[in-house]
Amino acid sequence: MSAPSPLDICRHCKSRLLKNHDELKSLSIVHMDCDSFYASVEKRDNPDLRNKPLIIGGDSNRSVVSTACYIARTYGVKSAMPMFKAKKLCPHAVILRGNMQKYTEVSREIVKKMNNLTPMVEQVSVDEAFLDLSGTQKLHKQYPSQLVARLAKEIESEVGITISIGLSYNKFLAKMASDLEKPKGFSVLGQNNIEKVLAPFSVSKIWGVGKVLGKKLNANGIETFADLQKLDQETLLKTYGKMGSRLKYFSVGKDNRQVKPAAREGGRKSIGRETTFFKDIHEHSILKNKLWDVCEQVHQDAKHHNKAGYTVTLKLKTNDFQTLTRSHTLPSPTMLANIMFDIVCQSLAKMRPTLSYRLVGVSLSNLTDPQKADPLDFLEPKNITNQKIENAMDEIREKFGRKAVIKGRSVKNKKPNNSLPEKPSPQ
C-alpha cells in the first residue's frame, strides 16, 4: 500500500482520516458546533482580523476570556481564562468586548437553516445544537450524513461561519464526535466496537466531570473510559451517587436522552436559555458573567417572540446533577435583561458559596403582551433609564439597521468583568 498523503492524516492522532464508515447510512443523531463562534462572527464582519489572534471578552485584567479564535489558542489562550493571563500568553492579541445582539441574530439564522431540514432541532446554547435526522431520507432523498454535510457547507457559504459535526446514534456520542476534529471537522462514532473505541479517552470527556469530580475519579484509579468499563454500576452508584450511573452508561456509549425541539409558538409557556459548562464553575463572579450572557439572550428571544413575563427563574445544576431553581414574580411583566439579571443575581447570592455548577439558565414565564411590560416607575429612575435605552435602540435599529447600535452591559454597569460573559467550553 502506498504511503498516505499528509492531507489524509489526522493532525491529532496521526492515523488515516476517515473517508467512509460502515454505519454512515444508519446514524442519524447530529451535534453541530460553530467553530470559535463569537470570534468567527467578528472575523467574518472585519476581514482585517482574519489572520490575527482575536480574543472576545472584557479588556480589564479582572475579566475572563469568553472566546479565543484558533490563532489565539495556539498561544495557549482558552475560554474562561483570566484576561491578565491571556494577555501574557498572547500580548499582541486583538481584544474585543463583543456584541451579544449580533451573535444571537447569527445564531437564529443558523438554526433556521437547521429547521429547514427537520423540526427535531434542540438548541443547547447560542452556538451549538443537536438534530435528529431520523426519517428525513424519504423527504430529502439523502442520508443524514449527506444532509448534514450539505447543511454545514450551506451555512459556511451563506452565513460565513464554519461548523464542526459529530454524527452518531445518541447525543452523548454525537457531542463527543464533534469535539474530535475542529475546526470544520466531520467525525463519526458508530455502534460497532464502541466500547473499544472509547476505552482510551480520558474521563474528563464525560459531561459533568469537572475538576472536583475528575480529581476524585483519578484518586480512585479511574482515569479513562476503560477504567469505568471495568467497574459495575452498583459500585459506581455507591461511590458517586446518581452520577455513577451516568458514568457507567456513558463509558459504554449509552445515552437514552432524546433530541428535544423547542416548544412551538402556540404552546409556548416560557422563554428561556441555558448553557452547560465543560468544566464545573463555583466562582460567583464568573457565574454572573455567564448569567448576563444568558439574560441578554432571553431578552432578545422575548423581543423576537413579542412576549414579556411576570416570573423570572434562575436554574442551576450542580456538579452532582442536582437541579436548583429559584423563581421571583414581579408586580409588572418585564423583558429587560437588566431586570432579569438583577433578580437572578440576588437568587445566586443566596446559594451556598461552596457549590459548583455545571449549568446555568434563566427563563421568563407567565407570559403576556409586551405592551404591559416595564411600566415607567418614577420612583425608580434606574427603571426609567433602562426602558428609555431599550426604546431608543429599537428606534435607531428600525431606521438604520441592527448594526447601528450595539447593546452591552457597559451601558448600565461600569464593571468591565460583567460587560460580556464567558462562553462555555464545549460540553
Q: Quick check: is 128 catalytic?
A: yes
Cis peptide before 421, with omega less than 30 degrees from 0?
A: no
Q: At what angle do helices 100-117 and 284-305 cross, to 10 degrees?
A: 60
Residue among 290, 327, 309, 312 at smallest CA distance from 419: 290
Residue among 227, 182, 180 at smallest CA distance from 200: 227
> Is residue 375 within 8 Å of 336, Cβ to Cβ?
no
CA 33 – CA 163 distance, rounded (Å): 6
Out of 128, 296, 390, 422, the active site residue is 128
Instruction: Evaluate the CA torsion angle 216, 221, 225, 231 in order and state its sign.
Output: negative
Helical (H) or strand (E) element with 218: helix 211-219
- Alpha-carbon 324 to chain mean position: 20
Instruction: Evaluate the CA torsion angle 228, 233, 236, 240 in order and state its sign.
Output: positive
Catalytic residues: 128
